[in-house]
Amino acid sequence: MSQLVVRCPECNKGLKLRDESKLGKKGKCPQCGNVFVLQRSVPAASQEDEVQLELAQPAQAAQGAQPVAGVAAQWVPDTAPVTPQPGPAVAPQPTFDPQAAPVGQFPTVGVGAAPLPIGTDLEGGAARLKELKRKSAKRRNFAILAGLATAILVGGGVYAVSDYKAKEDARLAAMEKPKVDEEARAKHEELKQATEDAKSSSPTSGEPISSNFLPLGTRMMVSIRPAELWKAGSHGEEIRYCLGPFGTWAEDKIKEVCRFEPAQIEHALIGILPGPVGEMPETAVVVRLVADAKKSELITAFGGELVETFGYPVYINEAEDRCFLIKPNDLRTIAIGPANFAEDMARSVEFPNPQSDGIDALLPSTDVDRHLTLVFEPRTIDAFLRGQTVFGQEVEAFVRNSLAFFNPDDIDCVAWSMHFGDKQFHSDMLLRNTTLLREVQLSDAVRGKVKQLPFDVLGMVEKMNPQVMGPRKVIGRFPAMTQVFAKSSKVGVGSRFAQLTTSLPERAAPNLALGALLAWDESTRTDFNAQPVAPTKTQSADPNLPELVLDRLKMKIDMEFGRTPLQDAFAYIADECKVDHYIDGDALKASGYTKNMPNTFTMNDTGLAGIKTIFDAPQREQLCLVIQQDKKRFLITTLPFAAEQGLTPYKFE
């Protein structure tokens, strides 16, 4: 195997180079310590001069100047003798003439090198370039690693700070969460309890309203018990009279839709089916008679031909475009509707047609024994208003203002029932919330609207100027009526609905009906953009009223309380006696009393007698009455608080 010999340019020592790839790199002469670039040299004179080549250390090469290049290296066989060649230690610097250079020759890479012929090994220059790239890559990698380390340190610091802040926020939230959860749970339990109380205090206990026989697409229902409301001398008759033209209109409409006199109808369920915007809606009704009727008389009265193609006998009167059905084995239940809904009604005899989600959800919570129940979707009422098809011009403004209470964005469906008992007026409103808010949120909104209602009514009444004394007095008292209604209302929640329940003495129903009717009638003649009417002397005070608060409490009034809360009973007495009042809630609470303690009694006596009756109930010995003439009111407090504040309790005779 031949070896490559390189001569040291300083001492001319022959250096053996076993690997040709070392050419172009720096070497160190082991004899004189000279550092030079390895290049081919002339053959050595003797192998005795040949020594093993030692590569120079990078740090050592960097300390000196540009090393001198070894020259004229050549291959020497291991067995051939080496003949030393005389010559200069350093080869002369040749010049390169591109014109004179033979084709295929290029200048060699390195200082003082002669032109190399084609085929000359340039691997040494490529190795040098590779070394430079390696060092450059090393510096670049170091910069990347330094930047990465800095980013990790900064990122770690940011993460540590954010992690600490998140944990601190979580710790604080964990401290507050039990308190918030406990308050929310207590509030929800209170609302649920109010709903249970409303259920237990219900004046009726009938079955839920059933929508059997009604066609698919019913969006409004009216459940009414005409025979009870049209009974002579009943509270229903009084309320109808207080409703004036509305009572007459209701009677005429029942006769038209049901085909029977109100006194003959035990229960009627009227369904309203909206049509295209601008057209009158269709109506269907299920009538439950007081007594059985004869089938032959029913067929003769309704007319029409028998059609049995719907799986159930249906009579269709083409002249009137109506159909009617008789419930099997029941001559008291009849259904009447549009002829084009005959098949739909026949299929719902046994199983009711599904209506809207809201109606189907609220019907199980209704009571068919209530005197009047309205089930409707606020968005449907809004569509009726836009179409101007159902409500007359006089009623439209009233309905539009009422719809503001039943905001379609918050309320999906409403079931409002009223019962006019002999001793109690009961109102129960179920409001199904939309998916935009929860039932607790809706209950809060309803509570706020109910509290605001008396003030809204007062602002409206202040701009009215009734010319007749009787309506003037009733309208003037209407804001106070709504305030009593608001104070007597309790808000609860159920499964996907909020509930507003109000219980008042039976006198409240006709008073509210008459007040609402007269206020509505006067509103059609009132310019609400004008300034409020300045009260005159006769309007602001009744000259027949006593000046002293005590004397007003000695006036006789009618009182009918059926489990009426304490605060509502005092509010009613104060309103009837035309005086102000105040209940010291803190005083009552300190003695273990609440403003919701129930009161049940009926009497026609003075307001003082009514207050004494309330005080005489068991375990109310601490309650006392204080007359505050300077404030023109009476105060309800307790004996310990009165003594502490230097007040003089009134001594009943």
Asked if residue 220 has pLDDT above 80, the reply is yes
Place of tokens 């489990």: 563
One domain, residues 629 and 516: no
One domain, residues 496 and 579: no
Reported in sequence order, the residue ranges of 397-517 that DSSP labels E, i.e. its strands, are: 411-420, 424-433, 489-494, 497-505
Residues in the chain: 653
Rounded to the nearest 5°, which phi and psi values hold at 511?
A: -65, -45
Order of strands, sheet of 68-69, starting from the edge strand that comes earlier in the sequence: 54-55, 26-28, 35-37, 68-69
One domain, residues 547 and 517: no
pLDDT tens string 357-367: 999 999 999 99
pLDDT top residue among 574 and 95: 574
**Model pLDDT, residue 545:** 84
Is residue 651 a part of any domain in this protein? no
Residue 7 · residue 41 · CB < 8 Å: yes
Instruction: From 79, 91, 84, 82, select the one nearest 37 (Cα to Cα).
Output: 91
One domain, residues 341 and 489: yes
73: tokens are 């290296």
Asked if residue 489 has pLDDT above 60, the reply is yes
Residue span of the structural domain in which 348 resides: 220-523
One domain, residues 489 and 394: yes
Query: How far apart (Å, rounded) are the C-alpha atoms in residues 237 and 566?
Result: 30
Is residue 56 a part of any domain in this protein? yes
One domain, residues 590 and 516: no
**Model pLDDT, residue 95:** 47
Query: How far apart (Å, rounded) are the C-alpha atoms in residues 111 and 129?
Result: 16
Secondary structure class of 494 (helix, strand, coil)? strand
**Model pLDDT, residue 165:** 66
For residue 17, count other CB atoms closer than 10 A to its CB. 21
pLDDT tens string 597-632: 889 999 999 999 999 999 999 989 999 999 999 988
- Domain end residue (candidates: 94, 121, 148): 121
For residue 494, count other CB atoms closer than 10 A to its CB. 18
Is residue 556 a part of any domain in this protein? yes
Q: Are strands 489-494 and 497-505 parallel, antiparallel or unpaired?
A: antiparallel
Secondary structure class of 344 (helix, strand, coil)? helix
Q: What does DSSP assign to residue 293?
A: -
One domain, residues 570 and 609: yes
User: Which residues, 6 or more positions from 244, have their beta carbon under 8 angstroms from its beta carbon?
Assistant: 517, 521
Asked if residue 72 has pLDDT above 80, the reply is no
Instruction: From 197, 241, 617, 235, select the one nearest 424 (Cα to Cα).
Output: 235
One domain, residues 518 and 575: no
User: Which residues, 6 or more positions from 20, have their beta carbon under 8 angstroms from its beta carbon?
Assistant: 4, 121, 123
What's the domain count of the chain? 3
Is residue 479 a part of any domain in this protein? yes
pLDDT band at 153 (very low <50, low <70, confident <90, very high): low
pLDDT band at 372 (very low <50, low <70, confident <90, very high): very high
Is residue 621 a part of any domain in this protein? yes
- Quick one: average pLDDT of 196-215? 88
Query: How far apart (Å, rounded) are the C-alpha atoms in residues 187 and 193?
Result: 10
Counting residues of the chain whose pLDDT is more than 70, the rounded percentage is 73
Which one of 140-149, 159-168, 333-342 scores highest in mean pLDDT?
333-342
358: tokens are 């809201």
**Model pLDDT, residue 524:** 83
Burial of 355 (0-12, 13-18, 19+ CB in 10 A): buried
One domain, residues 233 and 280: yes
Instruction: From 487, 539, 428, 465, select the one nearest 205 (Cα to Cα).
Output: 428
pLDDT band at 15 (very low <50, low <70, confident <90, very high): confident
Query: How far apart (Å, rounded) are the C-alpha atoms in residues 4 and 486?
Result: 115
292: tokens are 């059985």
pLDDT top residue among 374 and 192: 374
User: Which residues, 6 or more positions from 273, have their beta carbon under 8 angstroms from its beta carbon?
Assistant: 215, 217, 218, 219, 281, 282, 283, 284, 338, 341
- Which has the minimum average pLDDT: 403-417, 525-539, 557-571, 616-630? 525-539
Is residue 143 a part of any domain in this protein? no
Q: 429 has which bridge partners? A: 416, 500
One domain, residues 505 and 563: no
pLDDT top residue among 12 and 264: 264
Q: What is the CATH number of the domain that holds 599?
A: 3.55.50.30
Residue 324 · residue 335 · CB < 8 Å: yes
Query: How far apart (Å, rounded) are the C-alpha atoms in residues 148 and 139?
Result: 14
One domain, residues 459 and 547: no
Kindly give the interhelix angle for 469-487 and 439-461, rounded to the nearest 10 degrees.
160
- Domain end residue (candidates: 495, 523, 551): 523
Secondary structure class of 30 (helix, strand, coil)? coil
Instruction: From 481, 519, 396, 498, select the one nearest 442 (Cα to Cα).
Output: 498
Angle at 465 between CA 459 and CA 471, to 5 degrees: 100
Is residue 631 a part of any domain in this protein? yes
Instruction: From 397, 311, 370, select the one nearest 346 (Cα to Cα).
Output: 311
Query: How far apart (Å, rounded) are the C-alpha atoms in residues 560 and 36?
Result: 125
Instruction: From 43, 24, 27, select the one nearest 35 (Cα to Cα).
Output: 27
- Domain end residue (candidates: 523, 556, 583): 523
Which one of 8-17, 53-62, 204-213, 593-602 scores highest in mean pLDDT?
204-213
Is residue 152 a part of any domain in this protein? no
**Model pLDDT, residue 391:** 66
One domain, residues 469 and 562: no
